Each structure stands twice: as C-alpha cells, then as structure tokens.
A and B are shown apart, each in its own frame.
Chain A
C-alpha cells in the first residue's frame, strides 16, 4: 500500500504517539483467572480429622500408580529404551522410593528430589499425552513453583474487628478492603480472611506448604476464640517459572503460533501464550524466561513446559 507515503500532514503527525505514552515500563494487567476455581476438584478437600484416612487413600493411589507404570513400562521398554534412560535420570529423585519410571512424555507426576508426594496430583498420570515430537528428549529443566493460591472455608462467621484487635500479624482497613490481611513467617505467606469465614492463602511455594500455612491461620483464628474448622481446602492457582537460557524471537513465535499467542510490545514486553491442553497461560520473554500460571495441579505446569520447550527451541537459531 502506498497510502503511507501520501498521508496528509495532519495524519502523519498523529501517527506518533505523543505524550500519552507512559514513560518507562508500560503497565499491563494480564487477564488471568486467579482464584476462579471453576473445575470441580474431586479429592483435595480434607479436614484435619481425616488425615489418617487420607494418607491411607494416597498410599493406595500410589500403589495403583506404580502398578500401572510397570505395565506401561513393559509395553514401551523396547521402543523407548534410550529415551527412558535419559528421562529416568531427570526424574529419579533422592526420595528413596521405587523410582517412578515415566516415559518422557508423561513426565507429569515425577517426584522432585526430596519431596515425598503424600499429596500427589490427583490426575490420571498414565494416559500418554499426544506427543508433539515423539522423538524429543525431555528438556532437563524443571519449572520452579513460585506461588500457590488456595482457599479454605473456616466454617463459621468471624468478627474481623476482634481478629484485628487481638492478633499481632493482622491488618484491617474496612474502607479499603473488607477482609483482614494476616501474615505468618513460616511458611512465608499472606492470608485474606473474610467475615463469612472463607479464607484465601497466598505466597506458598508448594502445595504442602500452602496447606500447612492455611492450617496455621485456622489455628490462629481458633485461638482467638472462634469455632474455626478446616473445610474444603482447595488449591486455586499455581504459578511457576523457569529459564531456557537462550533468547527467543517473539515476533517469529507470534507468526507461527498465532492462534495461541498474543504479543503486543506496546503494552507488555512478553508474549502471552494460551495453551489449550493443559489450560495454562505462559508468559514468554525475550530473555528466555518463562512464567507459567493458571494450573490447578503441579503436573499441568510441568506438562505445559514440556509442550512449549520444543517450540521455543525451534526459534533458537537466529537468521
């Protein structure tokens, strides 16, 4: 189009964004569904009374998982022997349990070294996800969890003024926000406690820490004299991040994956990639850092990263 060269002076002048440009970093609020909790989660609710039952149930689950793994192993042993050895190295943890051997594509429920998964992801671990590139190795990079948002119902109405008065770590400003903001040091978390008895716990780095923190907040509220219970604990959102250590041509990525990506450098320096399966939003930056959010279980974050890594590697060579 040669319209641009024949623009009248007024329109040319307007093509420059004048003073409305915010100096420095453009602020952008991504529309991420924090805390929407729409998918009904089957397992994760528990009262502290039924901990024993839950442990038993989890052990049974684990046994079932291991049985299924062994069956799958036998089926795939011949074909994927080389791949399995590399993925085994990635997934074998120092947990001392029977090393859970997964095909590289089902890296999803691999235990991280040290964390004994008494609180495993309640998804079907053995259904192999359609592999994008069947012969690819796992990336060897594990996303670190940075933030977990969870909710719990304390099961009784609360008097926020009393809580703010008698707790040291609480702040309450009803004109600004209709909840008490409480913080504890270990695990380092923040909770929003509402007068209906519902509570939101943020800032934990793992699911177990989030649950422990929520229990501590519930205990504080109990000690303040309210009949607090611990009902319907549920992880609402998990945020992870990692670094692929090479720069990424975001313009190229948005061209090839247009239906999933949104890249607006005028608004935000990163590319927003909305993966369909699993339903995760990834923020991909030019430096190679990737933020993954929107997960309800840890496995979704790992799966999403394993899906995106081959795509990002495709943009590794510059022209």
Chain B
C-alpha cells in the first residue's frame, strides 16, 4: 500500500485491499494477516443515503425468468396438454409466449390479459399448423371474454408481426362433425337417428362448399354455417324419419351447443337449395318448399356445380354480361320442357326461373334506410357566429336558479332515502 503501513505480524509493506465478499479488508500479501476490516453491516444513517435499484432496472431481470412468466409458460403447456395437441405444438406456443413477453406492453399488462395471452399463443400455433381450433373453444377453456381475447390477439399479431393463416374450413368441418354424438345408438339417440359418420361428413362438406360458393360463409362466423349444414346433411340422409326433428332438438341429441345464428344460416341454405331445385326438370313440377326440398338434397348436391351456374347469374359481373348469360341458358338443353319455345312466349308459371343474382345476403336485402347524400355545404369555417345563435345554448338566470333548486332538492331527497 502506497500510504505506508506495515503488517503487524511480518512487517511487510505489501498491503492490499481485498474485500471478503461484502466486507472491506486490508490484507498483508506476504503472510495473509488481516490488518483492518470494514463494517459488515450498514448503520441506520448509512442506509438513509443508499439508493435502491429496482428489480426491473437491475440486470437480474434479464437473466431470470420472472415468476409471472414462469406461471404463464406453465399455463401454455397445460393448455396444450388439455387440448391433446402434438408435442411440437407445445414448444412453438411456449416460444411465442416468451417472444411476446419481451415486449414491455405485455410485461406490464394485467394478469387477466396474460392469462388470455396464453390462449392466443396456443391459437396461433394451431392456426399455423392447420389445426382447427376456434376462438370460442379457447375462451371457454380460459373462462375469458371474447372481447378481451380479441383485443389481446390482435395486439399480439401486430406486435410480433405474425402471419396467421385463416381457419381451415374443411378441417373444422371434419373435427366438428365428428363431435356430434349420432354415430351409435344410445338411450337418448333412437336407432332411426343414428347415422354413418362418413356419409354425413361427405355430405356436410359438400353443403359447406355450396354455402361458400353462394356467399353464405364470407364475413360470417364459420361454425353456425357448419351446424346448419350438418343438420341438413343428417336430415337428408333419411328424410322420412328425420324431417320432424328441429334444429334445436338435433343439437341436443347430438350433445352439441346450438350457436345462435345457426337457424338463420339454415334458412339461407334452404333458400339456395330451393333456387337450385328450380333448375332441375323433375323437381320443377313438384313445387318444393323448405321442408320438401330436404328429401332431394342428394340429387341437388350431385349436380351442384352445374345448377349453381344455371340458377344464379354473376352478381359481380358488369351489366353487359347479362345478355350473354340469358342466351346461354336458352341454348343449353337440359331436359327442359320449353326447349322449343322462346322464353317470352310462355306464361310465367312454365318459364324456367330467371337466374337470381349471386350475391351475399346482406346485398340482397333492401337497405334499412336510404342514406341521402348530404347536401353540399359551402361552409368556410371562418364565418361570423351570431350572438343569438350562441345565446340559445346558455341558460337564463331564472333557469339557472331553477336548476340549482332542483339539484338541491334532489340532493336532499337522496340523502334521506327512507323518510319516516
């Protein structure tokens, strides 16, 4: 030590500052004798001068996984196991969670949001591997609100810049249909209601494909459409026994929840099928309605591509294309009665139905209210504002007094809730 001190034991001048953990010590480098040592503990006054470093600003945070994150990662693994996903999904979902956790917005979020984040990670993993998991399922498992889930999901996709493919409809149909408990007889399911799984699946797929082609799926939640299609497929495979069964009863039998929009999807699908039926010669004479058309769904689906082309004209085409469409219809012979006649000669009843526009239902409904284009205003923003116009928005002194009196009376009334 340059200051000049000697070791009391050996007399050497080689003294070094060598702290023993947190205790400062002056040690002789020759014999190891401790010459002086600092105070191990801090005094009360000393501590007043210390400045604590918060955990988030220390380096410890980056090295360790926080307890909250550990809990989240455990939840992710649990959720993957509950859903019985393949093991690779688990690792991907965990990685997404860790990635999301690095963003400060997520780290500082409420626990409720972190819980929902678990679901988001699992959902994104499943979507990227074409595993048909719906948001409703995740929300049910997490006891989460769909609004909360949607906000967190959109935020996460934006933050991480992820590419999340759409829900695969075909896979969803297969998974959802398989969950219907109709494939073997049981005390609650009579024999006439039992159906072969493969037949029902293939017909449901065809019906969903038809719905997709006729604009019933775009912009709507996919599941009610699939419910309606499954119901129709099931009914049409044995119409004589099953026409009496309603949609609600069907879902109850199959032990599946009935989504609310399913009944209106059912009506839309039946309307489409009726339009297709109008183009089939042997069905035209039968004058089908929404109940009787179910029996012929098999035939309609078999020829659905041709029938859609004929029953509907392109709602998106330019107006000029309509004329060629009409001629095409008259030219095609498809066993129609009126082949020899021009369509104008026949009375309305015998004419083949003129093709309806292939448009989404929201465009076919008449507009709820006509929104007139607002009158063009020549406001400059700098006009004079007349005093009278402003006066109309101010209370007169009498009104102010009345209002104050009314307020006071109300205060008095509420402060004595139960007058004797």
Contacts and interface: CB of A to CB of B under 8 A. Distances in A.
A123 to B, nearest CB: 18
Interface string A287-319: 110000000000000000000000000001111
Given A17-B137, A167-B395, A263 B166 contact: yes
Given A24-B261, A168-B393, A216 B150 contact: no
Interface residues of B, number: 79
Interface string A183-221: 010110000000000000000011111111001100110
Nearest to B155: A31
Nearest to A268: B150
B156 to A, nearest CB: 12
B383 A212 contact: yes
Pairs of residues from A and B, 3 with the lowest C-beta to C-beta distance, nearest first:
A17-B136, A211-B381, A23-B260
Interface of B: 83-84, 86, 129-137, 139-141, 146-147, 150-151, 153-155, 157-158, 163, 166-167, 171-172, 174-176, 178-179, 213, 215, 218-223, 255-257, 259-261, 314-317, 358-360, 362-363, 373-374, 376-383, 385, 389-395, 399-400, 403-404
Contact of A21 (B146, B314, B394): B146
B174 A4 contact: yes
Contacts of A13: 179, 255
Query: How many residues of A sit at the interface, in one of the four size bands?
Result: 35 or more
A56 to B, nearest CB: 13
10 contacts: A14-B83, A15-B132, A29-B147, A31-B151, A114-B376, A186-B389, A247-B218, A265-B167, A269-B220, A285-B219
A41 B315 CA distance: 44
A1 interface: yes
A4 B362 contact: no
Contact of A7 (B84, B154, B390): B84
Contacts of A116: 378, 380
Given A16-B176, A246-B316, A26 B134 contact: no
Contact of B316 (A212, A250, A318): A318
Contacts of B131: 1, 3-4
Contact of B315 (A8, A19, A247): A247
Interface string A232-258: 000000000000001101110011001
A276 interface: no
Given A20-B140, A166-B395, A112 B376 contact: yes
A12 interface: yes
B84 A265 contact: no
A220 B368 CA distance: 37
Given A112-B376, A118-B382, A249-B218, A220 B393 contact: yes
Contact of A1 (B130, B136, B167, B385): B130
A259 B384 CA distance: 49
Interface in A60-101: none
A173 interface: no
A20 B146 contact: yes
Given A23-B259, A165-B404, A286-B360, 9 more contacts: A15-B175, A15-B176, A16-B137, A114-B377, A211-B382, A212-B380, A251-B166, A285-B219, A287-B363
Nearest to A255: B166
A164 B58 CA distance: 50
B154 A31 contact: yes
A21 B84 CA distance: 22
B140 A19 contact: yes
A12 B218 contact: no
Contacts of B150: 26, 28-29, 264, 267-268
Contact of B393 (A22, A167, A207, A264): A167
A230 B78 CA distance: 58
A4 B260 contact: no
B146 A26 contact: yes
Nearest to B130: A1
Contacts of A186: 389
Nearest to B175: A15
Most chain A CB within 10 A, of B83, B153, B179, B220, is at B179
A280 B103 CA distance: 25
Contact of B374 (A8, A144, A166): A144
A21 B167 CA distance: 16
Contact of B84 (A10, A212, A316, A319): A10
Contacts of A143: none
Given A7-B84, A21-B136, A184 B393 contact: yes
B363 A219 contact: no
Nearest to A113: B376
A84 B404 CA distance: 65
Contact of A166 (B385, B389, B400): B400
Contacts of A115: 376-378
B374 A205 contact: yes
A208 B146 contact: no
Contacts of B141: 14
Nearest to A274: B158
B157 A209 contact: no
A176 B220 CA distance: 35
A69 B136 CA distance: 55
Given A12-B178, A318-B316, A254 B157 contact: no
